Structure 1
Amino acid sequence: MSGVMVKPASAVEGTVTVPGDKSISHRAALLGGMAEGETRITNFLAGDDCLSTLACLAKLGVTWERRGSEVWLQGKGTANWREPEDVLDVGNSGTTARLFLGALAASPLAATLTGDASIRQRPMRRVTDPLKRMGAAIIGRRNGDFVPLTIRGGGLKGYAHRTEVASAQVKSALLLAGLGADGVTSVEEPQVSRDHTERMLRAFGVPVTMEGRMVQVRGGSRLRGQTVAVPADISSAAFFLVLGSLAGRGEIVLPEVGINPTRTGILDVLRRMGADIEVLAKREPAGEGRATLRVRPADLHGTEIAGEIIPRLIDEVPILAVAASLAEGETVIRDAAELRVKETDRIQTVADGLRGLGADVEELPDGLRIRGKKRLPGGRAKSYGDHRLAMSWAVAGLLSQEGVAVEGMEAAAVSFPDFLAVLDQIVKR
């Protein structure tokens, strides 16, 4: 599917049901595999990353099956996980790698984690170093900073950890390890990162204490299988929020989108830029809020995106950069150095991609400076295997003068397998 040409749209109109939340799907599957008893997950995201999580669980002896958009797991507890006979391949999923490191640290077995070429370049030391201090034995490339990594868990001691950068993956890994540790494990962050793990641990019967930017668990807690209803992913909805805001005519309705407050930075920033977004029919089943979002065209203007809001929209920066390139005035994104160690160096690849489409972009050490234009000419842009870049360039193509040829559009399958088909249903030319 490389080299897909996305032509300009004159209007967008329709209701879009985006896939289940990727972060929540990962955690529901992993906690279901760690729990005792049956776990049922509805609206599970069957994208490449989440399927990697299920595949790793199967190698640990967890039985599961997919029934349409549902996943059913039969957990026996981490103490009864089977030592895998082969390596655990996380594919392109950093979430799978880091969360499994924490879960495996709590289990008395040995396992080796690896992944694709991109994952093998993504640093793991922020997880492996504190796990070693808790008592896990971990060896791997460059003193345990890169996969392949071999871990032998068990015998952990509770640990108080302060992170230098807010990271839900690091926090989650240490909390999962803490479940198998002797004593209390706590994680304190400089800003609050997404809290899906904390919410879901409570749903699975684990007491979780939260005080400001600190969260803690006590070792020995047992997880009980649950039913988890996964909301639509706001990170996937973000592409349609930007498209609907900048399209010439029409409106887009997005039902059942997750509105966890640690994830709604995209709504706050787009509204600050002048977007016309309504939040309707709010409800909160099983601890995760959701709502219908309705977006209509608006005149957007530049803004500053920095500080505590960055962890609440870190995955949405590529599509926000597209919005900024078409907004009046200047947008500055700072405090986002974390983007340099995602699926790609998202600061560099976003800057290069937008410049190739005719945008006025300056790369900063920790972000971007973008001076908006009324319309981008278009051209060619590479995804570099990054799903969020692929979808961002497709939206840019719809909003451009001449269209965009997206190289590597197949990367969208990581989080939104039917992305192009959904676009075709709502785009008017």
Structure 2
Amino acid sequence: MDVKIYPSKLIGTLNAPSSKSYSHRMIIAAALAGGISEISNVTGSNDIKVTAGAMEALGADVLADGDVYTVRGIKAPAAKADIDCGESGSTLRFIIPVAAALGTNATFRGHGKLPERPYTPYVREFSKKGISFEPQSGLPMTISGRLTAGEYLLEGDVSSQFITGLMFALPLCEEDSVIKLTSPLQSKPYVDMTIAALKNFGINIYETKLGGLPMYLIKGSQKYSPCRVSVEGDYSQAAFFFTANALGSEIRVKNLIPDSVQGDKAIVDIIEKSSTGDGLEPFTVDVGDIPDLVPILAVLGCFTKGTSRIVNAARLKIKESDRITAIADALNAIGGKVTAGDDFLEMQHVDKFTGGEVDPCNDHRIVMAAAIAATASDAPVIIRGAEAVNKSYPRFFEDFKALGGEFEVL
């Protein structure tokens, strides 16, 4: 689907979609609980659907009725499973340890850039515990063996998803385990979200320090308990509309928890500090903990009065796209002045975007960032492959239109 967006001010009230990160975590935990759980306020994006499908392949029953997911936990794990992770890195990295802890011989498949995204830390650590990977990189890939308790050493600066995956799995092992980090932890708020989500299901993870780095202690033989829970709104999606406000729109965003542990809540402070009443002040933002905000922060940075910078962004080169290069190319194509480096973006001031055509590289967040950029353009913006929003926010353009956004499907 290609769309042509006409410059317009967005006005109105919006319910933020549910947190995709929390939704993944709640569905997996519910599937591991003995009984029936009800998870409400779930936005049924493509990523969430493949996580639900993965847990069904392992033996759970998942019924989606609107935004309510009813999950009957796994009674007898599947001996074998074929798991299609779509384009979801979270699904792949969360479910590999879960399948291993259940003793399921599982084949994982993926699409888009997912087969290129690494799972090397698991190959290294799980091989020590008797888990085999065939092959040891790329997809499709099959694991066999049963995960056992013990010490797991993980890099903190590769992806917090590996830590989360083990946090789901290790409580199922008989003995106690520990996750030790060998480098500083980036995206720590996502680990905090995992710990918070697991508490809803009776699982406790204990954080301490070792050599100044977080270390996680996990008791074995824990039991997941079913529960009823509502998923909070997603700050990473709300960020698009907060930024639209900074560029002149008037949107009230609801369904957000002020004291949320979501790292992407940082968008509120970033915009507040940049907004002075006399234009937007330049900013430098370290995105080590908030990589999902990069595309929309790049849009915001184009309208600050000087040069704004996004730093510590190297990991974004292996997202749905090479997100550093892709967002720079997208904004430059519509009149931005953005420089991309190996681990940074630099944005020079523009008065307006000038319109043009954007290739979002099949990246949902670049589609949404380009749509918001179009509201501050003096000519229409064409976005190719806009259906990429289905990965995380399938009703984005419906909400955009309800707020007064003007576009046509080409």
Deviations 1:337-396 (A, max 9, x none): 010010011011111111111111111110111112111112110122111011111111
Q: Who is 1:292 aligned against?
A: none
Equivalent position to 1:44, from 42, 45, 50: 42
Tell me how far 1:112 sits from its aligned partner: 0.4
Q: Does 2:243 match 1:251?
A: no
Q: Return the structure number with greater relative CO, CA threshold 8 A, min gap 6.
A: 2
Residue 354 of structure 2 contacts residue 377 of structure 2 at CA under 8 Å; is this kept in 1? Answer: yes
1:65–1:261: structure 2 CA closer, same or farther, 3 Å change rule? closer
Check 1:196–1:113 CA distance in 2 against 1; reply closer, same or farther (3 A cut): same
Contact 1:13 1:252 in 2 (8 A): yes
Tell me, what secondary structure is at the counterpart of 1:174?
helix
Report whether the alignment pairs 1:300 with 2:280: yes
For 1:262 and 1:423, locate their aligned partners in 2 and report how far apart those are by CA, in whole Å. 24
- 2:144 equivalent in structure 1: 152
Runs of 4+ in 1 over 6 A off after TM superposition: none
Q: CA deviation at 1:166?
A: 6.0
Inter-partner Cα distance in structure 2 for 1:39 and 1:131: 30
* Whole-Å separation in 2 of the counterparts to 1:404 and 1:66: 35
* 1:132-211 matched pairs, under 5 angstroms: 132-140=127-135, 144-165=136-157, 167-181=159-173, 182-188=175-181, 190-191=184-185, 192-194=188-190, 195-211=192-208
Give the corresponding residue for 2:96.
101
Q: Structure 1 residue 126: deviation in Å? A: 3.0
Q: Which runs of 5+ in 1 are unaligned?
A: 277-297
* TM-score, normalisation: structure 2: 0.91
Corresponding residue number in structure 1 for 2:55: 57
1:357 aligns with 2:355: no
Question: C-alpha separation between the residues in 1 aligned to 2:290 and 2:220?
Answer: 31
Distance in 2 (alpha carbons) for counterparts of 1:134 and 1:228 = 34
Matched, 1:412 2:389: yes
Paired residues, number: 395
Which residue number corresponds to residue 402 of structure 1? 379
Q: Is the 8 A contact 1:245 1:275 kept in 2?
A: no
How do 1:330-345 and structure 2 match up within 5 A?
A: 330-345=307-322
Q: 1:269: Cα distance to partner?
A: 1.9
* Identical counterparts, % of pairs: 27
Contact 2:97–2:147 (CA under 8 A) maintained in structure 1? no
Residue 410 to residue 178, structure 1, CA distance change in 2 (3 Å): same
Find 2:86's aligned residue among 82, 88, 91.
91
Name the counterpart of 2:233.
232
Query: CA contact under 8 A between 1:38 and 1:226: conserved in structure 2?
Result: yes
Structure 2: segments with no counterpart, 5+ residues: none
CA contact (8 A) 1:175 1:216 kept: no
Report how far residue 42 of structure 1 moved.
0.5
TM-superposed CA distance for 1:67, in Å, is: 1.9
Matched residue of 1:242: which SS?
helix
Contact 2:172 2:223 in 1 (8 A): no
CA distance in 2, matches of 1:275, 1:253: 20
Q: Residues 372-391 of structure 1 correspond to what in structure 2 (within 5 A)?
A: 372-391=349-368
Instruction: Find the counterpart in structure 2 of residue 112 from structure 1.
Output: 107
> Separation in 2 of the partners of 1:200 and 1:54?
16
SS at match of 2:236: helix
Matched, 1:24 2:22: yes
